[in-house]
Amino acid sequence: AQSVTQPDIHITVSEGASLELRCNYSYGATPYLFWYVQSPGQGLQLLLKYFSGDTLVQGIKGFEAEFKRSQSSFNLRKPSVHWSDAAEYFCAVGATMNYGGSQGNLIFGKGTKLSVKP
Partner 1 sequence: NAGVMQNPRHLVRRRGQEARLRCSPMKGHSHVYWYRQLPEEGLKFMVYLQKENIIDESGMPKERFSAEFPKEGPSILRIQQVVRGDSAAYFCASTQKVAQGDIGFFGQGTRLTVV
Nearest Cα to Cα of residue 96 among 6, 32, 3, 25: 32
| Alpha-carbon gap, residue 87 to 97, rounded angstroms | 32
Q: Measuring CA to CA, how many Å separate 96 from each of 7, 34, 45, 107, 116?
A: 24, 14, 21, 11, 36
Cβ at position 8, least distance to partner 1 in Å: 14
Interface with partner 1 (CB under 8 A), residue from 71, 84, 102, 115: 102
Cβ at position 62, least distance to partner 1 in Å: 18
Interface with partner 1 (CB under 8 A), residue from 18, 30, 45, 84: 45
62 or 108: CB nearest partner 1? 108
Q: Does 76 bind partner 1 (CB under 8 A)?
A: no
Q: Does 62 bind partner 1 (CB under 8 A)?
A: no
Q: Does 23 bind partner 1 (CB under 8 A)?
A: no
| Alpha-carbon gap, residue 72 to 79, rounded angstroms | 22
The residues near 62 (Cβ < 8 Å, ≥ 6 apart) are 78, 79, 80
92 or 116: CB nearest partner 1? 92
Cβ at position 45, least distance to partner 1 in Å: 6
- Yes or no: say if 35 and 23 are a contact pair by the CB < 8 Å rule: yes
Q: Does 68 bind partner 1 (CB under 8 A)?
A: no
